[in-house]
Amino acid sequence: MFKDVFDFNNIKGDVTGGLVAGVVALPLALAFGVQSGLGAIAGLYGAIAVGILAAIFGGTATQASGPTGPMTVVSAALVANAIEVAGSLQDAMGIILLSFFIGGALQIVFGLINIAGYIKYFPYPVISGFMSGVGLIIIILQICPFVGLDSAKSTLKVMADLPRLFSDVNWKALVLGGMTVVIYYLFPKINKAVPSPLVALIAVSVFAYFIQWDVPIIGEIPSGLPSLQLDGLFTIDPSAYFLVLEYGMVLAVLGSIDSLLTSVIADNMTKTKHNSNRELIGQGIGNMVAALIGGIPGAGATKGTVVNINSGGRTRLSGTLHGAFLLTILLGLSSLAAFIPLAVLAGILIPIGFKIIDLKGLRHLKVVPRADAAVLILVLLWTTFGSLIQAVGIGVTLAALLFMKRASDIGEEGMQAGTLAGFDGEKPWEDELDFFEKFKDQIYIKHLYGPLFFGFTSHFQNQVKNIDEGVKILVIRMDRVPYIDQSGVYALENAILDLALKNIKVVITGLQEQPKDLLTSIDIIPDLVPETQVFLHIEDSFNWVRTHLKGFE
């Protein structure tokens, strides 16, 4: 295992990637730690433990892991509930850290029993609604710190407290927060090499320190290596066990989804293939150790991973160095972080909250099937103003019920709902035989059967990635597809985008009314597949293919 960790074949790129990813992670770790309710140091501890251990033991060579928005929002909800049960933060620490520890342990179990193979079946509206809700929670909970006020721990209480913003606002904190947001968005237009969150954090904090404005700051941060937090970890009140298991499970599931989505992004950027089960095991180890030293849990961080890859990182050494960089900050410069204004951290987190919101999913609410739109909105609102755990459970249950209802309706209408066959060995239909024999080395003909629901997405995208390099055109037959939902249409969109990167043209034939309306509504037709490549009959598509292939002869 350690042989691929200490792979020095790309030493320059890995060092650069790891250091840049660490620089990006620093302000986020501090900000997420504060938002969790456990303090900036908890964010730094979590970033170090998860960053180093997930890189060593995980299944994605270029993954940069640490506290993320979704994991922090769940952690903050846990902290608030644990304090309500125990009476104080000190008395609640056993509940909190044991929940973090159980979450990591469950991730290891998930990896060992191949639960990653099932996580991919989460419907798009559920994930979209949940992530957008998490983004809104981050924004809402940072409104008060942005203007220098103490913040309630729930979104409903913050909303009820909004009138206080107009009477008690600390205008100095508001100026600092505003400066942070401006630098966050404008600095990349000047220089993209240096992360704008770090520039905003340092520049505005230094300004506030020298001008001596009276604004809330982080306060004292411990320096040196963290100590084990074992006191009370396994001696909590039995009445809190359900809370521990509840939040441990949601942290495990959310952390797994968050990490695997980032792993897919890393695969697309590096043209590699991650090991899903090993990735969950690595994340679980990192989160268990983070809990033992008082750190908040984390997952694969998309921004840090992308920065790592773009800066040259290609092996596990880069992710390990990313965590090691944060460790050196803890040992040498943590005392300086005490003077960072909370308004500055709010100015960093609010733009991050907006980035987490799934604008694509929200923008298409009017055109996707009503059932998908209803599930997305319900999960979003329940996540934002209710229980995150209940939101996911209700969303998945509703999506499953709607799937069964629609499948039943289609069955009653006499439609075929077969399974998807792979490209390899898929037999041509009778009306394709002559054409297929002549052009089989240059084209694929993919037959899709039945309604394209959320269970179809991952399977189809994996098939597309395995298309031979010599193929120039993919013909997708949708004669027998009566219905497509939001998850299915986005899977089709991503597959077409992947094919475009390989210079493979896509031809669609036999579109029925509902799939055609949806593909047109979200601009897959004509933006990704021109109308000249969409045909009602298969023979018309073959004529287009014959003409197009002449250009390659």
The residues pairing with 444 across neighbouring beta strands, listed in sequence order, are: 474
Q: Which residues contact 11 (CB under 8 A, 6 or more apart)?
A: 317
Rounded to 5 degrees, what angle do the CA atoms 120, 460, 485 make?
75
Q: What pLDDT is attached to residue 424?
A: 43
For residue 371, the surrounding DSSP H or E stretch is helix 370-385
Q: Which residues contact 515 (CB under 8 A, 6 or more apart)?
A: 452, 478, 481, 482, 483, 484, 489
The SS3 call for residue 244 is helix
Cβ proximity of 142 and 353 under 8 Å: yes
Q: Is 393 exposed, middle or buried (0-12, 13-18, 19+ CB in 10 A)?
A: middle
Omega prior to 526 cis, within 30 of 0 = yes
Q: What pLDDT is attached to residue 121?
A: 64
Tracing tokens 């964010």 back to the chain, one arrives at 43
Quickly count: other Cβ atoms within 10 Å of residue 164's Cβ.
14
Q: What pLDDT is attached to residue 100?
A: 97
Q: Is 294 exposed, middle or buried (0-12, 13-18, 19+ CB in 10 A)?
A: buried
β pairing state of 534-535 and 473-480: unpaired
Residue type, 413: E
- Dihedral of CA atoms 237, 243, 246, 251 in degrees, nearest 10, equals -90
Rg (CA), the chain: 25
DSSP assignment string, 161-208: TTTHHHHH--HHHHHHHHHHHHHHHHHHHH-SSS-HHHHHHHHHHHHH
Q: What pLDDT is attached to residue 139?
A: 93
Quickly count: other Cβ atoms within 10 Å of residue 531's Cβ.
9
Nearest CA to 260 out of 132, 52, 111 is that of 111
The residues pairing with 474 across neighbouring beta strands, listed in sequence order, are: 444, 506
The SS3 call for residue 107 is helix
Q: Alpha carbon of 92 to those of 78, 144, 488, 509: distances in Å?
A: 10, 25, 43, 60
Tokens of 336: 């300086």
Residue type, 107: Q
CA distance 314 to 7: 10
- DSSP letter at 294? T
Residue type, 537: H
3-state secondary structure 506-546: EEEECCCHHHHHHHHHCCHHHHHCCHHHEECCHHHHHHHHH
Residue type, 404: M
Residue type, 5: V
The model carries a pTM of: 0.76
Quickly count: other Cβ atoms within 10 Å of residue 431's Cβ.
13
CA distance 544 to 375: 40
Q: What pLDDT is attached to residue 227?
A: 79
Tokens of 23: 């620089």
Tracing tokens 């409903």 back to the chain, one arrives at 156
Q: Backbone phi, then psi, for 60, in 5-degree steps?
A: -125, 115
Tokens of 315: 């092996």
The residues pairing with 2 across neighbouring beta strands, listed in sequence order, are: none
The residues pairing with 534 across neighbouring beta strands, listed in sequence order, are: 508
CA distance 110 to 104: 10
Q: What pLDDT is attached to residue 299?
A: 96
β pairing state of 65-66 and 299-300: antiparallel
Q: What pLDDT is attached to residue 71?
A: 94
Q: What pLDDT is attached to residue 419?
A: 34
Query: What averages of pLDDT result for each successive group of 10 residues across the chain (553 residues)?
Result: 66 89 90 94 96 95 93 94 91 94 96 80 81 90 92 88 87 96 93 85 93 89 77 74 92 91 83 90 97 95 89 91 92 82 92 89 87 89 86 79 64 39 55 77 81 66 73 87 84 86 89 90 89 90 84 50
CA distance 72 to 95: 16
- DSSP letter at 362? H
Q: What pLDDT is attached to residue 420?
A: 34
